[in-house]
Amino acid sequence: MKVELVNIGKKYEGRENFTIRNIDLVIEENEFCVILGPSGSGKSTVLRMIAGLASITEGDLLFNGKRMNRVEPKDRDIAMVFQSYALYPHMTVYENMAFSLKMKKERKTVIHESVLEAAETLQISEYLYSRPSEISGGQRQRVALGRAMVRNPAVFLMDEPLSNLDAKLREHMRVELVRLHKSLNTTSIYVTHDQTEAMTMADKIVLFDDGKVQQIGAPTEFYENPANLFVAGFIGSPTMNIFHGKMNNGVFRTDNDLVVVEPKPEDAILLKPYEGKEVCMGIRSERFNAGLAEKNNVTVKIDVIEMLGKEQLLYCKFPDGHEVVISEPGYFEYGVDEDHDFNFDLDGVHFFDADTTLRIN
C-alpha cells in the first residue's frame, strides 16, 4: 500500500502550539521508511496519526489515494508494534499471536496456519507453548512482531521496537527485520531515535526535528549531502566536525587561521555570494589523512584515543582549544599528547550558511 501524508499537522488539545507542522511525505508500496529524530520531536505522534490512534488536526492521510483521516483504526488494515511488547502474560506465545485473529472470529484452521507460519519465519516455533515470562527479551520482541504479522496487514507500523533490547541483540534484530521485510514485502514505517538503525535499515529516511521535516531521502543522501547543520550533526558517528569561519578572497578561514580551506572550483562559485560573510565548514572524521599535503592541512595535539579495532578515533585539539575528531586505521600508531599533521580531502568538505544553517555546496 502507498501511504501519503499531505500537509499534515497536529495540535494536541490543551497545547498552545502545533506539535507537528506541514508534513508532506510519500511512502511507496513495499518501502521501508524510517522516521528518525530526537526524543520529543513528534515521531510517535506521526505514527499514531497513521494508525488512527491520534486524530489529524489538518491535512490529509491517504492510503492508495483514499482519504483515511476519519477511518477507524481497525478498518485501516495496519498492524503496530510498540517498544513495550505488551504481551498478555497469562497467555502462551501461541495464544498471544492468535489473539487478534480470534477476536476477528477467523476460522481455527486459518488461525493455526497463520500462527505456525509466522512462528517459523521468526524462528520461535519451539516457544509456542511457553509464557512470555519464560522467554528472553529478544524472543518476546519476536512474538510481538509475530502478533502483528499474523494479521497480514497492508502497512506495518513499528515504534522503537528494539529500544528495550541489549546492544548485541539490537544489532542482530536489525538484520532480522530487514530480512523479514524482504520476505513479507509490506509497506513498513519504523520510528526510531537511533541514527544507526535508520542508516542500516531504511530505504527512505525522514528526519524530524521539532515537529518539522528536516530532510527526506536515502541513507547515503543523508550522509553525503546533509540538507542543513542539524542533519549534518545528527547523522553519522562520530558527529561531523563543524568549524565557524568567514569567506575571505574565496578562501574559508577560521578566526585565527587554524583551518584554512581553498574550496574546489565548483564550490568556489557557490560560495561567491558569501564573500566577507560567516559560513560553517563541516568535515567528517574519515576525510582526514595522516601527514602534510600541499594544501588543506591541520596541525593538532592528540587528546584522547578511542581504539575501536579496525579504526581509531583521535580526539584532537588545536592550540586554541578547538576540538576535532579524526579517524585513522587501527594499525597506525599514535600516542596521547603527540602533535600530528593531517591533510583533508576537499571532496568531503561541506559548507553551510551560518544564518539559515542550509547547505551551500
Nearer to ligand ADP, 212 or 317 (CB): 212
Nearer to ligand ADP, 45 or 114 (CB): 45
- Name the 3-class secondary structure at 8: strand
Residues 33-92 that bind ligand ADP (CB under 6 A): 37, 39-45
Contacts of 93 (CB under 8 A, 6+ apart): 119, 124, 127, 128, 129, 130, 131, 132, 135, 143, 146
Q: Which of 167, 160, 155 is CA-nearest to residue 141?
A: 160
Which of ligand ADP, Mg ion, none binds 15 (CB below 5-8 Å, type-dependent)? ligand ADP
Nearer to Mg ion, 41 or 92 (CB): 41
Q: Is 21 in the site for ligand ADP (CB under 6 A)?
A: no
Provide the H-helix boundaries in 74-213. 93-103, 108-122, 137-149, 167-184, 195-201
Residue nearest to Mg ion (CB): 44
Cβ atoms < 10 Å from Cβ of 92: 18
CB 68 within 8 A of CB 52: yes
Nearer to ligand ADP, 13 or 333 (CB): 13
Contacts of 288 (CB under 8 A, 6+ apart): 298, 326, 327, 328, 342, 343, 344, 345
Q: Is 19 in the site for ligand ADP (CB under 6 A)?
A: yes
CB 334 within 8 A of CB 302: yes
Q: Is 121 in the site for ligand ADP (CB under 6 A)?
A: no
Q: Which of 9, 12, 99, 274 binds ligand ADP (CB under 6 A)?
A: 12
Which of Mg ion, ligand ADP, none binds 285 (CB below 5-8 Å, type-dependent)? none
Segment interacting with Mg ion (CB under 5 A) among 44-52, 95-103, 163-171, 273-281 = 44-52
| Contact set with Mg ion (CB under 5 A) | 44
| Contact set with ligand ADP (CB under 6 A) | 12, 15, 19, 37, 39-45
